[in-house]
């Protein structure tokens, strides 16, 4: 393999994982911006989508039906989560929400583990065509599906939040939740909707990714953390999150290719810590101090 | 010195210490002793975590890392024969103090869940590093061949020896922390927990106190980690990752986030509940042992957070205070 084809190969795998991070990051920011809940179960829905599709397909359903049912189940689980876990909290604070969703994530993970075991699962690719050759690098057709899903999700959310009345209302109510509830808007229902939306998007991303890499009960944790990294670095906006997701994917792809596979997660997380810490430093102020 | 409110030399505490001291003599069961000594070691961790989360309002999740560093540094030093185990413990504590100071200074500028994310990332990075440096740490197989801990010629071999040692550490940390909370640092911490701008306008140097309490709890965790590694005589990267973090969060939440006693109670309750789950649910669901507690404790955390935000200590505190006069209890 030449250096060029190697580089293209790493970039392709980077873009693929990057798109998954971007979608999961969008799930984080959808829930966080509108309801103020930092939902740590986000990554688990990506796992849930892949695992449920595998389980339904394994039970004898066609792939399309299994996918649809997995998404519906994920939406139901997300809605149930909001009603049973988030809604009844009496003294809501950032800390409480964070801890309670971490607990919920471990419950979801544990239940999947109990039902389907620890084995890595794989579902059939959606596109049954031969891998494409680009300068010696192979492009698996499923990568196109993942990219298509990313574009579709981004477009859908952009249209939804900017060009529908309900989407605009959601954004408006997130600016001042107390004010919104004072004029008679039911915040709880909006939050329920956001959770369901994030559940669906997470499941879709997991399903799109499952034919490329194996899916297993412990997939959700790392994907969730990376999604959070991307959402924070992207400034909680859709465009920013997509850009940050692809960038993180590329960094990881190249780090895995040229440095070491084992260290790639550590590198991605170090980037996040550095980013967070550097944000607290006002560089312009420091430079002004240096000048006489 | 102002007498401390949380650790007074009163009847209930004397009874508690007496019970702890006599427990191994009355119940000569190795199993109970080994669980109780874990209660002490994890109690040190959860006290530190409770101080950060509950009293200071600093959402730092870095505790497993300090625990792991304490264990690994002490273990590596003594395995290679560079220092005696006892000296290794102190060198580990010193290293962790310096490291937590260096990391804390920039990272504590973050607030709320941004701090939580950064420290959480640290836990994951530290775990990856421990697995990826096999020459130094033994990699994923773990570090073996840790010698016995000896203090002044006395060899700590049995569980019983470690029982007294770890409870000494735990009680010392408890006593230190509860006095600290009524000292200058503690008052400062509680003041900025409630309102940072108000307390800094009264002249509290918030970054300095945040860093102090961060380093302090890190050193406590490191000491506990060093004892842990000499007790098990075996360390793996898996023992300092996300599961430990969830366990610590459970202890702090279930015990009661706003009190030091709650953290210790949480350690006791969580570890014994884990034992009971393994003993009894293991029969019902024979295939699963370790993973069942994730579901069980997840549900428990959710229930406690929804129905008992103050934790178990809200129920137990009146009992602990039985020996005080009524006006003192307020």
Q: What is the mean pLDDT of each run of 10 residues along chain A (292 residues)?
A: 82 90 91 85 90 89 89 94 86 80 87 82 76 77 88 92 88 81 82 92 90 80 87 87 92 85 84 84 65 54
Please name the residues between 14 and 53 in chain A that touch chain B, using a CB distance below 8 Å.
38
Distance CA B105, CA B17 (A): 38
| Mean pLDDT along residues B144-153 | 81
Q: At residue B326, does pLDDT exceed 60?
A: no
Residue among B121, B131, B242 minimizing CB distance to A273: B121
In this prediction, residue B217 has a pLDDT band, given cuts at 50, 70 and 90, of very high
* Mean local confidence (pLDDT), B298-320: 80
Percent of chain B beyond pLDDT 70?
Answer: 90
**Are the Cβ atoms of B118 and A276 closer than 8 angstroms?**
yes
pLDDT of residue B7: 52
pLDDT beyond 70 at B287: no
**DSSP of A98-142, one letter per residue?**
HHHHHHHHHHHHHHHHHHH-S--B----SS-SPPEEETTEEE-HH
**Are B125 and A270 within 8 A, CB to CB?**
yes
pLDDT of residue B2: 47
Query: CA-CA distance, A100 to B222, in Å (whole number)?
Result: 27
Query: Is the CB of A134 inside 8 Å of chain B's CB atoms?
Result: no
Q: Which residue has the higher pLDDT, B290 or A27?
A: A27
Put simply, the answer to whether A107 touches B298 (Cβ < 8 Å) is yes
ipTM value: 0.81
Chain B environment of A269 (Cβ under 8 Å): 121-122, 124-125
Could you say which architecture CATH assigns to the domain A3-290?
Orthogonal Bundle (1.10)
B67: left (phi over 0), alpha (psi -120 to 50) or beta: alpha
Percent of chain B exceeding pLDDT 90 equals: 29
Where in chain B are the domains? 29-329
Instruction: Decide if A277 and B106 are in contact by the 8 Å CB cutoff.
Output: yes
Q: Provide the phi-psi class of B306: left if phi over 0, else alpha when psi is between -120 and 50, else beta.
A: alpha
Torsion, CA B86, CA B91, CA B93, CA B94, rounded to 10: 150
CB pair distance less than 8 Å for A85 and B302: yes
Q: How many residues does chain B have?
A: 330
Which residues have CB under 8 Å from A24's CB, separation 6+? Answer: A42, A43, A46, A202, A205, A223, A224, A226, A227, A230
Average of per-residue pLDDT across B167-194? 89
| DSSP label of B147 | P
What's the predicted TM-score (pTM) here?
0.85
DSSP state letters, B169-206 = HHHHHHHHHHHHTTSHHHHHHHHHHH-HHHHHHTT--H
Strand, helix or coil at A46?
helix
Q: Hey, what are B102's tokens?
A: 């260096």
* Mean pLDDT within B171-190: 89
| Residue contacts between A and B (CB atoms, under 8 Å) | 113
Reported as a single tens digit per residue, the pLDDT across B71-122 is 999 999 988 888 888 899 999 999 999 999 999 999 998 887 788 889 988 9
Half-sphere exposure of residue A157, counting CA atoms within 13 Å on the CB side? 24
Mean pLDDT of chain B: 84
Residue A286 confidence (pLDDT): 63
Residue pair A56/A237 in contact (Cβ under 8 Å)? The answer is no
Mean pLDDT of B300-311: 83
Q: Where are the domains of chain A?
A: 3-290
User: A99 at the B interface (CB within 8 A)?
Assistant: yes
Confidence band, pLDDT 50/70/90 cuts, at residue B140: confident
| pLDDT band at residue B330 under the 50/70/90 scheme | very low
Which among A94, A229, A280 has the least Cβ separation from residue B110? Answer: A280
- Is B53 within 8 Å of A95 when comparing Cβ atoms? yes
CA closest to B59 among chain A residues? A95
The band of B197, judged by pLDDT with boundaries at 50, 70 and 90, is: confident
Q: Place B242 in a pLDDT band, splitting at 50, 70 and 90.
A: confident
Cα within 13 Å of Cα(B191), Cβ side? 18
What's the longest Cα–Cα distance across chain A? 76
A80 lies within 8 A of chain B by CB = no
By Cβ distance, the residue of B59, B124, B131 closest to A262 is B131
Q: What is the pLDDT of residue A22?
A: 93
- Mark yes or no for CB contact B125/A269 under 8 Å: yes
Give residue A98's pLDDT. 84
pLDDT digit string, tens, across residues B5-28:
555 556 777 788 888 888 888 887
Q: Express each pLDDT in A160-212 by its tens digit.
A: 988 998 888 888 888 887 888 888 878 888 889 999 999 999 999 989 888 88
């Amino acid at each position: 393999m030449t250096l060029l084809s190697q580089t293209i190969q790493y970039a392709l795998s980077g873009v693929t994982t990057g798109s998954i991070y971007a979608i999961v990051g969008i799930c984080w920011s959808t829930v966080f911006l509108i309801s103020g809940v930092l939902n740590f179960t986000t990554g688990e829905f990506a796992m849930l989508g892949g695992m449920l599709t595998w389980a339904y397909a394994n039970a004898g359903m066609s792939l399309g039906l299994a996918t649809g049912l997995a998404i519906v189940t994920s939406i139901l689980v997300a809605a149930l989560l909001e009603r049973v876990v988030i809604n009844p909290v009496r003294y809501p604070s950032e800390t409480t929400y964070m801890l309670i969703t971490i607990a919920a994530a471990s419950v979801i993970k544990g239940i999947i583990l109990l039902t389907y075991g620890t084995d890595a699962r794989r579902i059939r690719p959606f596109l049954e065509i031969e891998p494409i050759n680009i300068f010696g690098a192979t492009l698996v057709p499923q990568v196109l599906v993942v990219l298509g899903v990313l574009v579709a999700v981004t477009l859908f959310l952009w249209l939804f939040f900017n060009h529908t009345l309900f989407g605009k209302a959601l954004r408006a109510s997130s600016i001042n939740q107390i004010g919104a509830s004072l004029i008679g808007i039911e915040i709880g229902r909006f939050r329920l909707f956001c959770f369901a939306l994030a559940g669906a998007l997470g499941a879709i991303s997991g399903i799109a990714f499952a034919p490329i890499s194996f899916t297993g009960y412990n997939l959700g944790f790392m994907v969730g953390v990376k999604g959070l990294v991307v959402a924070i670095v992207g400034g909680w906006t859709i465009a920013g999150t997509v850009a940050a997701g692809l960038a993180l994917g590329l960094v990881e792809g190249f780090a895995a290719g040229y440095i070491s596979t084992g260290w790639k997660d550590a590198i991605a997380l170090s980037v996040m810590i550095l980013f967070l810490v550097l944000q607290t430093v006002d560089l312009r102020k420091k430079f002004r101090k240096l000048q006489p | 010195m102002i007498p401390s409110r949380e650790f007074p030399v009163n009847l209930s505490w004397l009874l508690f210490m007496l019970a702890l001291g006599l427990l191994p003599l009355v119940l000569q069961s190795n199993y109970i002793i080994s669980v109780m000594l874990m209660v002490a070691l994890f109690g040190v961790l959860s006290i530190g975590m409770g101080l950060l989360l509950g009293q200071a309002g600093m959402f730092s999740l870095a505790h497993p890392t300090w625990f792991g560093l304490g264990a690994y540094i002490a273990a590596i030093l003594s395995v290679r024969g560079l220092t005696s185990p006892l000296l290794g413990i102190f060198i580990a504590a010193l290293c962790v103090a310096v490291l937590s100071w260096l990391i804390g200074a920039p990272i504590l500028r973050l607030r709320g869940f941004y701090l939580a994310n950064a420290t959480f990332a640290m836990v994951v990075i530290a775990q990856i590093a421990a697995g990826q440096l096999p020459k130094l740490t033994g990699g994923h197989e773990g570090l073996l061949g840790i010698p016995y801990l000896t203090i002044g010629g006395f060899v700590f071999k049995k569980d019983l020896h470690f029982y007294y040692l770890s409870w000494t550490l735990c009680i010392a940390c408890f006593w230190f922390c509860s006095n600290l909370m009524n000292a200058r640092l503690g008052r400062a911490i509680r003041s900025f927990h409630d309102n940072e701008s108000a307390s800094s306008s009264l002249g509290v140097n918030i970054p300095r106190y945040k860093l102090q309490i961060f380093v302090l709890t890190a050193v406590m965790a490191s000491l506990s980690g060093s004892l842990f590694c000499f007790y098990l005589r075996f360390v793996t990267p898996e023992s300092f990752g996300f599961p430990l973090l969830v366990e610590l969060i459970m202890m702090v939440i279930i015990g009661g986030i706003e009190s030091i006693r709650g953290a210790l109670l949480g350690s006791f309750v969580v570890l014994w509940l884990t034992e009971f789950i393994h003993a009894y649910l293991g029969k019902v669901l024979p295939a699963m042992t370790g993973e069942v507690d994730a579901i069980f404790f997840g549900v428990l955390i959710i229930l406690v957070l929804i129905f008992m935000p103050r934790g178990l200590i809200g129920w137990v505190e009146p009992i602990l205070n039985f020996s005080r006069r009524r006006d003192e209890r307020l």
